[in-house]
């Protein structure tokens, strides 16, 4: 099923979503209106999708990645679903405003996704909205008992989202979930929560079972317990004990003990795999778990389990190096928008040795004041670099270790063993659910100036990567490290900046004869040390 989804998403990237949407919209099924239960609406549901590829599936997928479309056959099997109150097909939402089902929260009750109580999957291509309303002066508490939503990047296919309301009654997105990781309880800041299930047209799972209740405070935790940023609850006696009891470092914030960097940098306990001529992040070679222990996964906080947006590199116990353009969009400029994962390998499940932190500070080169950057998001692309201060130090283990900074006068060449790592897009050439590695030979500044054009600045940038097609970093790899093994020690020499033929977050990637551009670390060493000293 996962391989089929990989192929499907590769085709969908070019044109397939439109094709299925049109076929779905044109589906017509005859039914007796008198047989429909009161309070329900009719909805044609895709229950089977048959995709017939011609011979040479790999060629098909790769061709589409480069802009060519081969012959493909599609057939749909449909049936009628009864949609309960609060649910509407996505097509109907084009012309009608969805009206949520209002549930008065007097005592305790349960909210189920459509079909859950009958042990059926939720319907495809619908949105279901439920507004849980507590009495005046009260707040709504949600406890997830079951969560089983199809997991995709950014929960972009199926999702269940939770919305609070501000003092003006405007909705505020609090969280978006997919997958099966049960979150800690939610408590509304207002008198209501809105829960929204949104599904696409390809596959479904069990859905959710949520217990709701009303309470007089906004506290998630009982009296005498510390509430963590992730809404976990721990005893106050566990604060600053050196252990991450919260699971996100909250209980180890602003502790007075000395942070030491006595762990050797650039020396992973687990030896990385040797590269091959065919590996690439745009598809290609899965890294050995733990072999790149400095790799940081920058995720949007409200998307769970995987809001992956950019990569980064741990350079000491509390600082991560990444790219400035990762924070350019309005929603990404504030530290509170982020969640940093270290020691992880899989996108959609928590790994042994994984550590999670929030962000205390984002420093954009050359220390742009946060009030200015949060307002306009402007920075100098010649200096596409940023430092991230974590809310609490990480604990060094075999899965979490820092990378070394380079020597200021090191000369790099094509014979150096240099690689890039990331969870970025693979464009249908393989699963991107795990950390990938790709061999990235250093290219000459003359070649890069010719291939990349006037945007390439040899004083502040490094050009690296294979000239072959479908090789190199891609969307989601921005900010990730370019590391080289120098004298048997791994050192970071660049952070991914121009990863596509366009911008860092838009455009084509993996094109023949187009290496990737990384911001050069060697010329930023003084700035890195000054910022760490200034804000530690």
pLDDT tens digits, one per residue of 217-228: 999 999 999 999
The greatest distance separating any two alpha carbons of the chain, rounded to the nearest whole angstrom, comes to 81
Residue 341 among the catalytic residues: no
Q: Check pLDDT > 50 for residue 66.
A: no
pLDDT digits over 399-427, tens only? 999 999 999 988 898 889 999 999 876 54
Q: Which residues contact 18 (CB under 8 A, 6 or more apart)?
A: none
Which one of the listed residues 325, 383, 440, 475 is annotated catalytic? 325
User: Could you tell me the CATH number of the domain that includes residue 432?
Assistant: 2.40.10.10
Residues 161 and 241 in one domain: no
Contact, 295 vs 310, CB < 8 A? no
Residues 207 and 307 in one domain: no
Which one of the listed residues 213, 478, 497, 516 is annotated catalytic? 478
Contact, 321 vs 363, CB < 8 A? no
- What is the model's pLDDT at position 258? 59
> Within a 10 A sphere around the Cβ of 180, how many other Cβ atoms?
16
**Domain contains 263:** no
For residue 59, what pLDDT band results from cuts at 50, 70 and 90? very low
- What is the model's pLDDT at position 10? 41
> E strands of 246-379, at which residues?
285-286, 295-300, 303-304, 308-316, 319-322, 338-342, 355-364
Cα radius of gyration rounded to whole Å, the chain: 25
Average pLDDT for residues 282-305, to the nearest whole number? Answer: 90
Count of structural domains, the chain: 4
Residue 384 among the catalytic residues: yes
- What is the model's pLDDT at position 281? 53
**Domain contains 360:** yes
Residues 373 and 349 in one domain: yes
Greater confidence (275 vs 7) lies with: 275
Average pLDDT for residues 16-21, to the nearest whole number? Answer: 47
Residues 314 and 375 in one domain: yes
Q: Check pLDDT > 90 for residue 44.
A: no
Residues 210 and 96 in one domain: yes
**Domain contains 73:** no
Residues 211 and 100 in one domain: yes
Q: Check pLDDT > 70 for residue 511.
A: no
List the Cα angle 503/444/485 in 5-degree steps.
Answer: 90
Residue 478 among the catalytic residues: yes
User: Could you tell me the CATH number of the domain that includes residue 105?
Assistant: 2.60.120.290
Which one of the listed residues 384, 432, 477, 516 is annotated catalytic? 384
Omega before 81 within 30 of 0, i.e. cis: no
Residues 397 and 430 in one domain: no
**Domain contains 233:** yes
Q: Check pLDDT > 70 for residue 300.
A: yes
Greater confidence (231 vs 51) lies with: 231
Tokens of 208: 């959710």
- What is the model's pLDDT at position 242? 94
**Domain contains 312:** yes
Tokens of 24: 């779905």
- What is the model's pLDDT at position 332? 94
Greater confidence (499 vs 227) lies with: 227
Q: What separation in angstroms does the CA of 434 have from each of 287, 345, 361, 437, 471?
A: 8, 5, 28, 10, 17
Contact, 282 vs 390, CB < 8 A? no
Residues 137 and 166: their CA atoms lie apart, in Å, by: 14
- What is the model's pLDDT at position 6? 43
For residue 95, what pLDDT band results from cuts at 50, 70 and 90? confident
Question: Which range is least confidently modeled, 187-191, 472-476, 482-486, 491-495?
Answer: 472-476
Q: Which residues contact 234 (CB under 8 A, 6 or more apart)?
A: 225, 226, 228, 245, 246, 251
> Within a 10 A sphere around the Cβ of 485, how many other Cβ atoms?
14
Report helix, strand or coil for 358: strand
Residues 234 and 211 in one domain: no
Please return the burial class of 14, using the count of CB atoms within 10 Å of its CB with bins 0-12, 13-18 and 19+.
middle
Residues 451 and 424 in one domain: yes
> Within a 10 A sphere around the Cβ of 467, how many other Cβ atoms?
15
Residues 399 and 486 in one domain: no
| Residue ranges in 38-131 assigned as alpha helix (H) | 57-65
Q: Check pLDDT > 50 for residue 504.
A: no
Residues 531 and 1: their CA atoms lie apart, in Å, by: 47
**Domain contains 410:** no
pLDDT digits over 447-462, tens only? 988 888 788 999 999 9
- What is the model's pLDDT at position 225? 98
Please return the burial class of 209, using the count of CB atoms within 10 Å of its CB with bins 0-12, 13-18 and 19+.
middle
Q: Check pLDDT > 90 for residue 62.
A: no
- What is the model's pLDDT at position 96? 82
- How much of the chain is in helix, strand and coil states, percent to nearest 5? 15, 35, 50
**Domain contains 372:** yes
Q: Check pLDDT > 50 for residue 13.
A: no
The residue segments making up the domain with residue 488 are: 418-521
Residues 429 and 390 in one domain: no
Single residue among 184, 215, 246 that ends a domain in this structure: 215
Q: Check pLDDT > 70 for residue 24.
A: no
Single residue among 165, 188, 215 that ends a domain in this structure: 215
pLDDT digits over 331-381, tens only? 899 999 999 999 999 988 999 999 999 999 999 999 999 999 999 999 999
% of the chain residues with pLDDT over 70: 76
Residues 181 and 230 in one domain: no
For residue 58, what pLDDT band results from cuts at 50, 70 and 90? very low
- Which of 527, 507, 526, 525 shows the shortest CA–CA distance to 517? 507
Q: Is residue 448 within a helix (H) or strand (E), and if so which, with residue range?
A: helix 445-452
Q: Would you say the C-alpha torsion 311, 317, 321, 326 has a positive or negative sign?
A: positive
How do beta strands 171-177 and 303-304 pair?
parallel
- What is the model's pLDDT at position 469? 54
**Domain contains 460:** yes
Length of the chain: 536
């Amino acid at each position: 099923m996962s391989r089929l989804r990989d192929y499907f998403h590769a085709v969908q990237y070019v044109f397939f979503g439109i094709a299925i949407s049109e076929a779905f919209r044109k589906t017509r099924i005859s039914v007796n209106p008198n047989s429909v239960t009161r309070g329900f609406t009719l909805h044609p549901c895709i229950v089977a999708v048959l995709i017939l590829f011609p011979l040479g599936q790999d060629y098909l997928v790769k061709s589409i990645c480069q802009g060519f479309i081969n012959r493909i056959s599609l057939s749909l099997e449909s049936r009628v679903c009864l949609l309960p109150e609060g649910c509407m097909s996505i097509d109907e939402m084009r012309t009608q405003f969805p009206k949520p089902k209002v549930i008065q929260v007097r005592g305790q009750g349960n909210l189920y996704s459509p079909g859950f109580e009958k042990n059926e999957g939720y319907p495809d291509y619908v949105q279901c909205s439920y507004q849980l309303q507590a009495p005046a002066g009260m707040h709504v508490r949600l406890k997830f008992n079951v969560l089983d939503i199809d997991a995709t990047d950014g929960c972009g296919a199926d999702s269940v989202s939770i919305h609070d309301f501000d003092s003006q009654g405007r909705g505020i997105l609090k969280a978006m979930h997919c997958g099966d990781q049960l979150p800690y309880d939610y408590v509304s800041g207002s008198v209501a929560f809105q829960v929204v299930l949104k599904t696409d047209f390809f596959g479904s799972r069990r859905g959710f079972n949520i217990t709701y209740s009303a309470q007089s405070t906004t506290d998630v935790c009982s009296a005498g317990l510390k509430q963590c940023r992730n809404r976990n609850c721990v005893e106050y006696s566990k604060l600053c004990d050196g252990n991450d009891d919260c699971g996100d470092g909250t209980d180890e914030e602003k502790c007075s003990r000395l942070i030491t960097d006595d762990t050797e940098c650039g020396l992973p306990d687990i030896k990385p795999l040797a590269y091959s001529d065919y590996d690439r992040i745009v598809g290609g070679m899965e890294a050995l778990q733990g072999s790149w222990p400095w790799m940081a996964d920058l995720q949007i906080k409200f998307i769970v389990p995987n809001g992956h947006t950019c990569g980064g590199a741990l350079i000491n116990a509390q600082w991560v190096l990444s790219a400035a353009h990762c924070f350019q969009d309005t929603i990404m400029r504030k530290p509170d928008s982020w969640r940093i994962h270290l020691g992880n390998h899989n996108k959609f499940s928590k790994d042994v040795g994984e550590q999670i932190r929030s962000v205390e500070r984002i420093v954009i080169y050359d220390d742009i004041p946060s009030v200015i950057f949060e307002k306009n998001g402007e920075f100098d692309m010649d200096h596409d670099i940023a430092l991230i201060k974590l809310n609490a130090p990480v604990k060094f283990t075999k899965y979490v270790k820092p990378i070394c900074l380079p020597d200021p006068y090191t000369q790099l060449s094509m014979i150096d063993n240099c690689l890039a790592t990331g969870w970025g897009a693979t464009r249908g050439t393989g699963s991107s659910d795990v950390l990938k590695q790709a061999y990235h030979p250093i290219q000459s500044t003359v070649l890069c100036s010719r291939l990349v054009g006037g945007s390439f600045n040899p004083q502040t940038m490094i050009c690296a990567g294979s000239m072959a097609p479908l090789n190199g970093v891609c969307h989601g790899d921005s900010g990730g490290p370019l590391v080289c093994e120098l004298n048997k020690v791994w050192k970071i020499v660049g952070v991914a900046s121009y990863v596509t033929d366009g911008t860092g977050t838009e455009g084509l990637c993996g094109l023949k004869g187009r290496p990737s551009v990384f911001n050069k670390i060697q010329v930023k060493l003084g700035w890195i040390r000054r910022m760490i000293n200034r804000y530690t």
